[in-house]
Structures are given as C-alpha cells and as structure tokens.
Amino acid sequence: MRICVILEGCYPYVTGGVSTWIHQYMQAMPQHEFVVWAIGASSEDKGKFKYTLPDNVVEVKEIFLNDALTMAFHKEHYRFNDEEMKELRDFINCRNPNWELLFHMYHDKKVSPIAFLMSEDFLRILIAICHEEYPYTAFSDLFHTVRSMMLPVLYTIQSDIPQADIYHAIATGYAGILARLGSYVYHVPYMLTEHGIYTREREEEIIRAKWVLPAFKRFWVRFFYMLSAGAYTKASMVTSLFARARELQIDMGCRPDQCRFITNGIHYERFCDIPLKKDNGYVDIGAVLRIAPIKDVKTMIYAFSELKTRVPNARLYVAGPEDDKEYAKECYDLVEQLRVEDIYFLGTVNVLEKMRDFDFTILTSLSEGQPLSVLESFAAGRPCVTTDVGCCKELINGMAGDDLGVAGFCVPPMHRGAICDAMERMCVHNEERYAMGQVGKERVRRYFLHDDMIRNYLNAYDEVFAKWQA
C-alpha cells in the first residue's frame, strides 16, 4: 500500500511530539510505502530535515504557505456562474463551502487565486461582509485580513497531488483539506488523525495573538473551524487519542460512526530498564518539551522560582529545541529577571540518556493530546506533574477500568501555586514519588505499547478500505 501522510508544521522540520510519533510510525510499517507531504510556514526550511527519512519513504513533497505571496499575477477574465459565486461567498465568509466545487475551479481549471482576490467579484463579496458584520471597522483592515486567510488555502489547492492509495492527514486544517483534495483527484479514501484538537489549539493561539486585530479574532477562529469542518465531512475515518477528544470531534460535526480513538504507544522496552537516579543531594526535575508558548514554559519558571524558596536543592532541566526563538528569549530573560538559580536549558537531547538524571518530570502545557513525553517518563519509572489538558488527567489517574493508582499530580493550567505545590510534594516525599513512578511504569506496560498502537492503525486502514469498496 502507498500511504500519503500529510503533516502541518512539524515533520520533518521539527523534532519531538508528533514528528517523533510519525517517524516511528512509518518505521514500524516496512511493508508499506509512504509519501510525506509536508506543509511548512516558510520556504527557508525547504530541505532542512531534522530526520533521516526511513527507507520506506519513497517521496517527499514540500509546500510552504509563504510561497503564496510570490504567486505571479495573471490577469484573466474567468466568469463565475451563480453556483460558483455562492460557494465563493461562503468560502470568503468562512461558512463551510462546497470544497469539491472549489477544487474544480482552483485545482482542475487552475483559476488564478491572485486574479480572483484582486477582482470586482471579490470586492463585492467583501463589501457585503463589511456591511453585515464589520460596519465600524476600516475596510482596508478587512481586505488585508481576508486576503491573508484565503490566499494560502487557494494556493495549496493548486498543488500537484502526489499519488497514493490512501491519504492520511495528521491534523485537520490545511493538512485535512489537502487529504480531501487527494481523495477528490485520485478517487481513493482519506482519513484524519488528531493528536490535539486542531481548531481548539488554533482558537487558543488566536485569542492570545498580538498580530491579529481584536475585531477579527472571531473571524480567524471561524476560518480554522471552516477548514476542520471541510476535512471532517468526507473523511472515511477520524481518529483521536482518547475518549474525550472523540466527543469533541463529534460535537464539531463528525458522525459518531466515523470516529475512533486509538491511544498512543511508545517503545516501553527502551525506557523500562533505565535505573532510578542515585542520590546526589539534589532533586532533579526534567521538562522534556519544545520551547513554545503552547508549552507555557514561563509559568513553569515562575512556579520553580517559588519552589526554590521551599526546596533549595531542587534543579530544573528544560530539554528540548527552541521552537519559537522569540518566546525562548523571553523565557531566558525571565530567569534572569527573577534571579532564579538552577534552571538549565539543555536544547535537544537524547531523552533515553538524560532521563536517568531526573527524579520526576513536569509538563505545564496549555494544550496537549496524549503527550509522548509523559508516557516515556512513566516507562522509566518517573512520575509526572502535568496540567489538566488533553488526556493528562487520564494518564495520571488512569482511564476507565484502570485501578492501578495515581502516577503523579494533575493541576490547572497556568496555576503557579498549584504547580509549585505539586512539585514540592514530589520533591519531599521520596517514597510516594517512587510508588507513583511504579504505577506509571505499569500503566504504560499495560495500555500504551507501540506495537499495539501500530496494529490498531493497520486495522483502521483495513476498515477504511473495506468501507470504501463496499
């Protein structure tokens, strides 16, 4: 089978998280060929892969959203019919258009996106939106906002499509629309896998974003919901990592019979024999993450600063790449401003080697799916302090039918005091920390093995093909 995996903003340009997951996923299926269709933000990243691709990756296709800005302008006089104009109005207004009709215009007929976005047709649509929804907002702001939304989408739709037997998008968004486009072009099925709920993550980012004018935040959120709805609608299967995520997908329009949840799995045997750290007079805390706003490293720094007044021998190691250099600098500056000692930023590390130096781990994210870093920490017998996002509470406390006990502490996001209290308890109660670590280790051994995950996805492919051919 030839499987096209479609990824947005991660593999093969970024390490960790979903990138690690898909790399190991493809390695575990040598019987299949993979096409990697990678969506990046900037063409400066072209060819700058952080991974040596597995042997069964037979093609890599890269597409960069900023290339949409360099599209040539071709003056043309394409005359849209009434049906096409209706769908364009729905598209511009983020009201769930007929994507197949958009594909027909912008992929099959190669209608110029630039020509449309500079046309009188576009202006008429935009003027109507302005009168209806933004009567007190500068028209020029609306014009540039909508163009910046729509141009990358129309640009991606014009892409050459790598051929495959199935398209598997590892997110909704742009990746999900391209999966639906691949299905449209080659008449094969497509499926979606969400590690986090894409629309919720984008919504959180938009709410905090400084680059989005306040008047248009609601519009941007609607835009991303439109992309996800377009991806969900025709997918043969939509998978998530845990039951609550499946419920959210159903709430956002997926049919219950369309949805599955397939838990993550890790290579337990790589971590289970890592010895516990020898007493060196310190309590060493590991944070395995990429330095980005969604990981909320700043709250971690504040909480650790307070912890140092209670547990002077605590040390914090932040192990992971600078995913956002501006945010990383803000974190470094915060450490200096607070004059807190014993915080070390390690960059990208070999987690297998570094895990032996940790007593426990911490994750203070604002959004997660089912974090691999927590599962890896558990497999090594290290309990974890997490925020209550994604599946973290279920990982700490156990899901339905799991009576093993607790494997750490789960606290509210952005709550410095609660995070500090949980770290303090983990630091001072050695026996409790050890017992929690053993619970986490057994939880992974029973429920989160990589081989089980791969078998479940292979079964999902079989099910998708059986339904498609029926």
Kind plus residue range of the DSSP H or E element containing 169: strand 166-169
- pLDDT score at 204: 86
For the segment 11-21, the average pLDDT, to the nearest whole number, is 91
- pLDDT score at 264: 94
**Residue 292 backbone phi and psi in degrees, to 5:** -150, 155
d(CA 196, CA 391): 10
For the segment 64-91, the average pLDDT, to the nearest whole number, is 87
CB 72 within 8 A of CB 31: no
The residues facing 370 across adjacent strands are none
- pLDDT score at 38: 97
pLDDT digits (tens, 9 = 90+) for 336-360: 999 999 999 999 999 999 999 999 9
- pLDDT score at 17: 85
Q: Which fold has domain 268-447?
A: Rossmann fold (3.40.50)
Of 98 and 209, which is predicted with more confidence? Answer: 98
Q: How confident is the model at residue 73 (pLDDT cuts 50, 70, 90)?
A: low
Domain ranges of the chain: 2-70+159-261, 82-147, 268-447
Question: Residue 12, preceding bond cis, omega within 30 degrees?
Answer: yes
d(CA 395, CA 415): 19
Q: How confident is the model at residue 71 (pLDDT cuts 50, 70, 90)?
A: confident
For the segment 25-43, the average pLDDT, to the nearest whole number, is 96
Please, what is the average pLDDT of the chain?
A: 94
**Residue 196 backbone phi and psi in degrees, to 5:** -125, 165
CB 144 within 8 A of CB 202: no
Same topology between domain 2-70+159-261 and domain 268-447 = yes
d(CA 181, CA 186): 9
pLDDT digits (tens, 9 = 90+) for 148-169: 999 999 999 999 999 999 999 9
Could you give the angle at which helices 139-157 and 120-133 cross, rounded to 10 degrees? 130
pLDDT digits (tens, 9 = 90+) for 116-136: 998 999 999 999 999 999 999
pLDDT digits (tens, 9 = 90+) for 226-282: 999 999 999 999 999 998 999 999 999 899 999 999 999 999 999 999 999 999 999
Q: Calculate what percentage of the chain has a pLDDT beyond 90.
A: 90
End-to-end CA distance of the chain: 19
- pLDDT score at 470: 74
d(CA 6, CA 161): 11
- pLDDT score at 69: 86
- pLDDT score at 75: 67
- pLDDT score at 399: 87
d(CA 43, CA 69): 11
pLDDT digits (tens, 9 = 90+) for 170-203: 999 999 999 999 999 999 999 999 998 999 889 9
Is 2-70+159-261 a CATH 3.40.50.2000 domain? yes
Q: Indicate the SS3 state at residue 458.
A: helix
